[in-house]
Amino acid sequence: MTLILNTQKMKLIRKVLRHNQTEAERLLWQKLRNKRLAGLKFYRQFSVGRYVLDFYCPELRLCIELDGSQHVREETIEYDKERTKFLNSLRIKVIRFWNSEIISNMKGVLESLRKECDSYP
Protein backbone atom coordinates (compact mmCIF):
# COMPACT_ATOMS: atom_id res chain seq x y z
CA MET A 1 0.00 0.00 0.00
CA THR A 2 1.30 3.44 -0.91
CA LEU A 3 1.75 5.93 1.90
CA ILE A 4 -0.03 9.23 1.37
CA LEU A 5 1.97 11.63 3.51
CA ASN A 6 1.47 15.33 4.22
CA THR A 7 -0.76 16.00 1.23
CA GLN A 8 -1.57 19.54 0.16
CA LYS A 9 -5.23 18.81 0.94
CA MET A 10 -4.36 18.35 4.63
CA LYS A 11 -1.99 21.33 4.86
CA LEU A 12 -4.50 23.81 6.33
CA ILE A 13 -5.73 21.27 8.89
CA ARG A 14 -2.16 20.55 10.00
CA LYS A 15 -1.42 24.28 10.28
CA VAL A 16 -4.53 24.93 12.39
CA LEU A 17 -3.65 22.02 14.69
CA ARG A 18 -0.05 23.23 15.10
CA HIS A 19 -1.30 26.68 16.08
CA ASN A 20 -3.87 25.28 18.52
CA GLN A 21 -1.79 22.75 20.44
CA THR A 22 -2.85 21.43 23.79
CA GLU A 23 -0.57 22.13 26.74
CA ALA A 24 0.53 18.48 26.67
CA GLU A 25 1.40 18.67 22.95
CA ARG A 26 3.41 21.84 23.53
CA LEU A 27 5.33 20.29 26.42
CA LEU A 28 6.13 17.05 24.59
CA TRP A 29 7.12 18.91 21.42
CA GLN A 30 9.77 20.77 23.42
CA LYS A 31 11.30 17.37 24.28
CA LEU A 32 11.04 15.89 20.76
CA ARG A 33 11.97 18.77 18.46
CA ASN A 34 15.44 19.22 16.98
CA LYS A 35 16.28 15.53 17.46
CA ARG A 36 16.26 15.86 21.25
CA LEU A 37 15.00 12.33 21.81
CA ALA A 38 17.59 9.69 20.89
CA GLY A 39 18.79 11.82 17.97
CA LEU A 40 15.59 11.04 16.04
CA LYS A 41 13.66 13.45 13.84
CA PHE A 42 10.02 13.85 14.86
CA TYR A 43 7.36 15.86 13.04
CA ARG A 44 4.28 17.30 14.69
CA GLN A 45 0.84 17.26 13.10
CA PHE A 46 1.98 14.98 10.28
CA SER A 47 -0.68 13.58 7.97
CA VAL A 48 -0.93 9.99 6.79
CA GLY A 49 -3.92 9.37 4.55
CA ARG A 50 -6.92 11.16 6.05
CA TYR A 51 -5.44 11.23 9.55
CA VAL A 52 -3.23 13.80 11.26
CA LEU A 53 -0.78 12.29 13.73
CA ASP A 54 0.23 14.30 16.79
CA PHE A 55 3.90 13.30 16.38
CA TYR A 56 5.60 11.05 13.84
CA CYS A 57 9.11 9.65 13.44
CA PRO A 58 9.47 8.34 9.86
CA GLU A 59 12.76 6.58 10.60
CA LEU A 60 11.03 4.29 13.11
CA ARG A 61 7.54 4.51 11.59
CA LEU A 62 6.42 5.54 15.06
CA CYS A 63 3.35 7.64 15.84
CA ILE A 64 2.86 9.26 19.25
CA GLU A 65 -0.71 10.23 20.08
CA LEU A 66 -1.77 12.33 23.04
CA ASP A 67 -5.28 11.71 24.29
CA GLY A 68 -7.50 14.03 26.29
CA SER A 69 -10.87 13.45 27.92
CA GLN A 70 -12.66 13.26 24.55
CA HIS A 71 -10.96 9.89 23.98
CA VAL A 72 -13.13 8.14 26.58
CA ARG A 73 -16.33 8.62 24.54
CA GLU A 74 -17.45 5.45 22.77
CA GLU A 75 -17.50 7.01 19.29
CA THR A 76 -13.99 8.38 19.78
CA ILE A 77 -12.73 5.02 21.03
CA GLU A 78 -14.07 3.38 17.85
CA TYR A 79 -12.53 6.11 15.67
CA ASP A 80 -9.17 5.63 17.42
CA LYS A 81 -9.34 1.85 16.87
CA GLU A 82 -10.07 2.32 13.16
CA ARG A 83 -7.28 4.87 12.85
CA THR A 84 -4.76 2.66 14.65
CA LYS A 85 -5.73 -0.31 12.48
CA PHE A 86 -5.15 1.79 9.34
CA LEU A 87 -1.77 3.04 10.58
CA ASN A 88 -0.71 -0.47 11.65
CA SER A 89 -1.60 -1.71 8.15
CA LEU A 90 1.08 0.72 6.92
CA ARG A 91 3.52 -0.69 9.51
CA ILE A 92 3.25 2.47 11.62
CA LYS A 93 3.27 1.72 15.33
CA VAL A 94 1.01 3.88 17.49
CA ILE A 95 1.87 4.76 21.10
CA ARG A 96 -0.68 6.64 23.19
CA PHE A 97 -0.29 8.77 26.28
CA TRP A 98 -2.90 10.70 28.22
CA ASN A 99 -2.43 14.46 28.30
CA SER A 100 -2.37 14.20 32.09
CA GLU A 101 0.61 11.79 31.89
CA ILE A 102 2.58 14.30 29.84
CA ILE A 103 1.85 17.09 32.29
CA SER A 104 2.38 15.15 35.52
CA ASN A 105 5.00 12.56 34.55
CA MET A 106 7.11 13.80 31.65
CA LYS A 107 10.15 11.93 32.96
CA GLY A 108 8.28 8.61 32.86
CA VAL A 109 6.86 9.33 29.40
CA LEU A 110 10.30 10.14 28.01
CA GLU A 111 11.73 7.00 29.58
CA SER A 112 9.00 4.92 27.89
CA LEU A 113 9.68 6.63 24.58
CA ARG A 114 13.45 6.09 24.86
CA LYS A 115 12.88 2.38 25.53
CA GLU A 116 10.57 2.20 22.54
CA CYS A 117 13.10 3.95 20.30
CA ASP A 118 15.93 1.73 21.56
CA SER A 119 13.92 -1.41 20.73
CA TYR A 120 14.10 -0.68 16.99
CA PRO A 121 16.95 -2.25 15.01
Closest CA to 11 of 59, 45, 55, 43: 45
Summarize pLDDT for 6-39 with one digit per residue, the tens.
666 676 666 767 667 899 999 999 999 999 999 9
Residue 5 per-residue DSSP state: B
For residue 103, the model assigns a pLDDT of: 97
| The pLDDT of residue 71 is above 60 | no
How is the chain split into domains, by residue range? 60-121
- Global pTM reads 0.84
